[in-house]
Amino acid sequence: MTRSLCLFLLLGALAYAQNSSLKEVDNVYPDAKALYLDLHEHPELSGHETQTAEKLATRLRAAGYEVTEQVGNTGIVALLKNGTGPTIMLRTELDALPVEEKTGLPYASKVQMKDDAGHDVAVMHACGHDVHMASLLGTAELMARTKNTWHGTLMLIGQPAEETISGARAMITAGVFTRFPKPDVAVALHVGNELPAGMVSITPGIYNTNSDSVRITIYGKGGHGAMPQSTIDPIVIAARTILSLQTIASREVKPGEMVVVTVGYVRAGTKNNIIPDQAELGLTVRTFKADVRKQVLAAINRITKAEAAAAGATREPSVERYEGTDLVYNNPELAEHLRAPLEASLGKANVVTGSPITPSEDFSYFIEQGVPGFYLSLGGADPKKFEEARAAGSRLPSNHSPLFAPDADPAIHTGIAAEVAMLRNLLNMSAADLHKYSARQPGN
Ligand SMILES: [Zn+2]
Ligand SMILES: [Zn+2]
């Protein structure tokens, strides 16, 4: 064949792939959308995803998958074996957040649940994990219907408790890679409003941040609000501590290094005329580099203890790191390799290159088991609203906002098309070729 004929056929094949990928998604879309609406209206908190897991497991079983439930609490593993070839994993999260939905959508959540501390909280899929589950179901159905386009083993994971950074570890402890085939590559995606629906973004290398959750308890001495002389006021110590913690990023760490230190909650006191005997602060800490992470955690410890000492507190505060995860590292060669199938499926203009983001994720635990990973950003914003916000110099509500409302139809369509494109490509490679992608997570 001549070179120009080859090129002509290739371009024709790409155009066909693009049209056919959208068309074939239409065939499975009604099931995906129905699951999305149901899940969005009935979210469940981290570690309590029993109905969610059951709904997804039932549908995957109906699509022909061999499904095992309760792998690490509510986790699910669904396998579809299709001859010899590599094992490729696709992961979705199952959990929602303690957020009261204010989107006004007809299918908005009105769910209330008790959280692990026994408080009544409103629950919402404010992180878009319902989009991920719907996409995974559409992908599962499409892959099952087109077994002639790939070979090997497709492994779908429904992971609980991502928001509390505990579900991936629980699944690993429960044997996700020992009771089931260990994948040669793992992929996942996350929807967000930073990109219009219909588009995806590839971030080679560092994808997101190291995350650490820190709980600080400051011990004072309680008493009458009108008699401060007989007390050591933990609220005043907390206030000073909060402000001093802001100097870590601004004064201690080298300018240009990525550091976030956020105090996300303050709990102290019951009544205006009582000085309480303790105050609790909840922090989230984000970094890119292992040495910066160490420096910031040490500074939090030092500042907290010094502020309490400065106020004459007789008991040292407790500084407890209670959750944490390492950053997700997209193997750069694997990320670049997947660009071609994504462009062929979604159109070249719809695949862009992103830069690292600050939210975190426990997908890194799977990669740290020696599985090369790729994590894709999926556009979720209504394209018109996205443009209007950009023109006005503002931003659409982010994940975790009570107003987070992805443009579900194009986002889920694109999610399915992107997942199918990546999975088919990887499942047509040999395990030996896939093993050249290292699973190394740098600097942690
Ligand atoms: Zn989230
Ligand atoms: Zn999320």
Span 327-344, pLDDT tens digits: 999 999 999 999 999 999
User: Tell me, what's the pLDDT at 149?
Assistant: 97
Q: Amino acid letter at 380? A: G
**Which residue, among 274, 279, 286, 268, has the nearest Cα to 318 in the 3D structure?**
279
Adjacent-strand bridge partners of 192: 379
- Band of the pLDDT at 359, cuts 50, 70, 90? confident
CA of 163 from ligand 1 middle (Å) equals 5
- Around ion ligand 2, which residues have CB less than 5 A away? 127
Q: How far apart are CA 382 and CA 409, in angstroms?
A: 10
Q: How far apart are CA 400 and CA 402, in angstroms?
A: 7
Cβ–Cβ under 8 Å, residues 340 and 321: no
Cβ–Cβ under 8 Å, residues 90 and 136: yes
User: Tell me, what's the pLDDT at 358?
Assistant: 84
Say which residue, 234 or 360, is predicted with more confidence: 234
pLDDT for 112-159, tens place per residue?
999 999 999 999 999 999 999 999 999 999 999 999 999 999 999 999
Give the chain's mean pLDDT. Answer: 93
CA of 360 from ligand 2 middle (Å) equals 8
Ligand nearest to the CA of 191: 2
Rounded to a whole number of angstroms, the distance between the first and last alpha carbons of the chain is 50
* 83-86-88 Cα angle (round to 5): 110
CA of 370 from ligand 1 middle (Å) equals 24
CA of 93 from ligand 2 middle (Å) equals 7
CA of 272 from ligand 1 middle (Å) equals 34
CA of 131 from ligand 2 middle (Å) equals 10
Provide mean pLDDT across the span 103-117: 96
Cβ–Cβ under 8 Å, residues 49 and 70: no
CA of 232 from ligand 2 middle (Å) equals 40
pTM: 0.85
Provide mean pLDDT across the span 389-397: 96
CA of 136 from ligand 1 middle (Å) equals 17
Q: Tell me the three state secondary structure of residue 166.
A: coil
- Band of the pLDDT at 243, cuts 50, 70, 90? very high
Ligand nearest to the CA of 190: 2
Per-residue pLDDT at 18 exceeds 60: no
Q: Tell me the three state secondary structure of residue 138.
A: helix
Q: What is the largest CA-CA distance in the chain?
A: 93
Adjacent-strand bridge partners of 232: 221
Ligand nearest to the CA of 132: 2
Per-residue pLDDT at 324 exceeds 90: no
CA of 206 from ligand 1 middle (Å) equals 18
- Band of the pLDDT at 323, cuts 50, 70, 90? confident
CA of 129 from ligand 2 middle (Å) equals 6
CA of 219 from ligand 2 middle (Å) equals 34
CA of 282 from ligand 1 middle (Å) equals 17
According to DSSP, the β-strands at 200-202 and 185-196 are unpaired
User: Tell me, what's the pLDDT at 9?
Assistant: 43
CA of 310 from ligand 2 middle (Å) equals 40
Distance of CA 199 to the CA centre of its chain: 18
Q: What is the full DSSP assignment across 382-418?
A: -HHHHHHHHHTT-----TTSTT----HHHHHHHHHHH
CA of 50 from ligand 1 middle (Å) equals 19
Per-residue pLDDT at 441 exceeds 70: no
User: Tell me, what's the pLDDT at 437?
Assistant: 87
State the DSSP H helix or E strand holding residue 59, giving kind and residue range, or none if neither. Answer: helix 50-62
Per-residue pLDDT at 6 exceeds 50: no
**Which residue, among 28, 340, 357, 396, has the nearest Cα to 196 in the 3D structure?**
396
Q: Amino acid letter at 255? A: P
CA of 40 from ligand 1 middle (Å) equals 14
pLDDT for 34-53, tens place per residue?
999 999 999 999 999 999 99
Per-residue pLDDT at 12 exceeds 80: no
- Band of the pLDDT at 442, cuts 50, 70, 90? low
Say which residue, 38 or 20, is predicted with more confidence: 38
**Which residue, among 31, 76, 32, 72, has the nearest Cα to 52 in the 3D structure?**
76
Per-residue pLDDT at 163 exceeds 80: yes
User: Tell me, what's the pLDDT at 23?
Assistant: 84
Ligand nearest to the CA of 131: 2
CA of 326 from ligand 1 middle (Å) equals 15
CA of 190 from ligand 2 middle (Å) equals 7
Tokens 């995350």 identify what position?
211
Provide mean pLDDT across the span 19-29: 83
Ligand nearest to the CA of 378: 2
pLDDT for 421-437, tens place per residue?
999 999 999 988 998 88
CA of 316 from ligand 2 middle (Å) equals 35
Return the axis-axis angle of helices 3-41 and 332-346, rounded to nearest 10°. Answer: 90
Ligand nearest to the CA of 211: 1
Cβ–Cβ under 8 Å, residues 21 and 417: yes
Burial of 199 (0-12, 13-18, 19+ CB in 10 A): buried
